[in-house]
Structure 1
Amino acid sequence: MKASAFLYPWDVLGDPDAPARIADLGVRQVTLASAYHSTRALTPRHPGHRIVTAEHAAVLYPPGELYWRGRDLRPYASGAWAPGDAFGQAARALAEAGLDVHSWVVLAHNSRLGAEHPGTSVVNAYGDRYPWAPCIAQPRVRAYLVALAAEAAVRPGALGTELESCGWYGLAHLHGHDKIAGVVLDDTAQYLMSLCFCPSCGQGYEEAGLKEGELRDRVRRALEPVWRGGPPDASGAELLAATLPFRTRVAQELQEAAVAAVRGRAGAGFQVLLHADPRPDRCGANVGVDAGHVLGVADGVVVPCGGAGGAGGVSLLEPFAARATGGSVIAANLTVVSGMGGRPAALGEEAGRVVSLGATELRLYHVGLASDEDLDAVRNAGALP
Structure 2
Amino acid sequence: MRTAAFLYPWDVVGDPEAAQRLAGLGIRQVTLASAYHSTRALTPRHPRHRIVTARHSAVLYPPDPAHWAGRELRPRVQDWMPGPDPFGEAARALAGAGLEVHSWVVLAHNSRLGADHPSSVVRNAYGDPYPWAPCIARPEVHDHLVALAAEAAARPGARGTELESCGWYGMAHLHAHDKIGGVPLSGAAQYLMSLCFCPVCRRGYAELGLEAEELRTAVVRALEPLWAGAADPVGADGRAGEWPAVEALLGADRAAVARTWRDGAADGLRRAAVAAVRAAATGEFRVLLHADPAAHRCGPNPGVDPAGVFGYADGVVVPCGGGAAARADALTPFAAAPGAAGAAVAANLTVVSGMGGSPGTLAADAAHAASLGATELRLYHAGLASEADLAAVRTALAGPARARR
Query: Shorter-chain TM-score category?
Result: over 0.9
**In the TM superposition, what is the alpha-carbon distance from 1:231 to its structure 2 partner?**
1.5
The equivalent of 2:289 in structure 1 is 274
Specify which of 294, 297, 304 is matched with residue 312 of structure 2.
297
Change (3 A) 1:372 1:60: same
* Residue 178, structure 1, aligned to residue 182, structure 2: no
Residue pairs, 1:135-150, within 5 angstroms: 135-150=135-150
Tell me if structure 1 keeps the 8 A contact 2:205–2:257.
no
Alpha-carbon spacing, 1:41–1:311, altered in 2? closer, same or farther (3 Å): farther
The residue type paired with residue 231 of structure 1 is D
Could you list the per-position Cα deviations for residues 162-183 of structure 1 after superposition, in whole angstroms to 9, with x for gaps in the alignment?
A: 0000000000000110011010
RMSD: 1.4
The secondary structure found in structure 2 opposite 1:180 is coil
Aligned to 1:39: 39
CA distance in 1, matches of 2:26, 2:312: 30
1:235 CA displacement: 3.0
Indicate if the aligned counterparts of 2:292 and 2:301 stay in contact, CA closer than 8 A: yes
Is the Cα contact below 8 Å between 1:26 and 1:384 reproduced in 2? no
How far is 1:327 from its partner? 1.6
TM-score, length basis structure 2: 0.92
What's the counterpart of residue 87 of structure 1? 87
Distance 1:45 1:166 in 2: 32
Q: Is the 8 A contact 2:2 2:377 kept in 1?
A: yes
Is it true that 1:217 corresponds to 2:232 in the alignment?
A: no
SS in 2 for 1:306: coil
1:142 counterpart letter in structure 2: H
Distance in 1, matches of 2:274 and 2:287, equals 7
> Residues of 2 paired with 1:145 and 1:82: CA distance?
26
3-state SS in 2 of match to 1:201: helix
- 2:112 aligned partner: 112
Write the mapping of 1:182-221 to structure 2, written as runs, cut at 5 A: 182-221=182-221
From 245, 255, 260, the equivalent of 2:270 is: 255
Letter matched to residue 316 of structure 1? A
**CA apart distance, 1:83:** 4.0
Q: Residues 36-60 of structure 1: CA distance to partner in whole angstroms, max 9, x if unpaired?
A: 0000000000000000000000000
Identity of aligned residues (%): 65
Distance 1:110 1:32 in 2: 18
Question: Do residues 342 (structure 1) and 357 (structure 2) align?
Answer: yes
Unaligned runs of 5+ in 1: none
Query: Which of the numbers 335, 349, 352 marks the counterpart of 1:321?
Result: 335
> Which one is further off, 28-37 or 321-330?
321-330
Q: After superposition, what is the alpha-carbon deviation per residue over 1:238-293, rounded to whole angstroms, capped at 9, x for unaligned?
A: 34333111101110000000000000111442100000000011000001010122
When structure 1 is superposed on structure 2, of 309-318 and 357-366 the one drifting more is 309-318
Match runs of 1:152-163 below 5 Å: 152-163=152-163
Deviation of 1:311 after TM superposition, in Å, equals 5.4
Q: CA separation in 2, counterparts of 1:136 and 1:301? A: 20
User: In the alignment, what sits opposite 1:265?
Assistant: 280
The C-alpha deviation readout for 1:337-371, integer Å capped at 9, x for no partner, is 00011110110000000000010000000010000
Match status 1:286 vs 2:287: no
2:318 alignment partner, SS class: strand
Measured after TM superposition, the shift of residue 310 of structure 1 is: 6.2
User: Which residue in the other structure is 1:77 paired with?
Assistant: 77
Q: Which amino acid aligns with 2:75?
A: P
Alignment of structure 1 residues 118-133 onto 2, 5 Å: 118-133=118-133
Indicate conservation of the 8 Å contact 1:9/1:82, yes or no.
no
User: In the aligned structure 2, how far is the partner of 1:68 from the partner of 1:286?
Assistant: 27
SS, match of residue 288 in structure 1? coil
**1:231 corresponds to:** 232
Separation in 2 of the partners of 1:310 and 1:227?
Answer: 33
Measured in 2, the distance between the counterparts of 1:128 and 1:25 equals 45
4+ residue segments displaced more than 4 Å: 309-312
> What SS does structure 1 have at the residue aligned with 2:215?
helix
Cα separation, 1, equivalents of 2:327 and 2:174: 19
Q: Distance in 1 between matches of 2:355 and 2:328?
A: 17
Aligned 8 A contact 2:367 2:403 in 1: no
Q: How much has 1:232 moved relative to structure 2?
A: 5.5
1:368 counterpart (371, 383, 388): 383
1:180-214 CA distances to partner (integer Å, 9 max, x unpaired)? 10101111100000000001101110111110111
2:48 alignment partner in structure 1: 48
**1-side partners of 2:65 and 2:7: how far apart?**
27
Distance 1:268 1:96, change over 3 A: closer
Answer whether contact 2:315 2:345 (CA < 8 A) is retained. yes
List gaps (5 residues or longer) in structure 2: 235-247
Letter in 1 for 2:374: A
Cα distance between partner residues in 1 of 2:170 and 2:164: 14
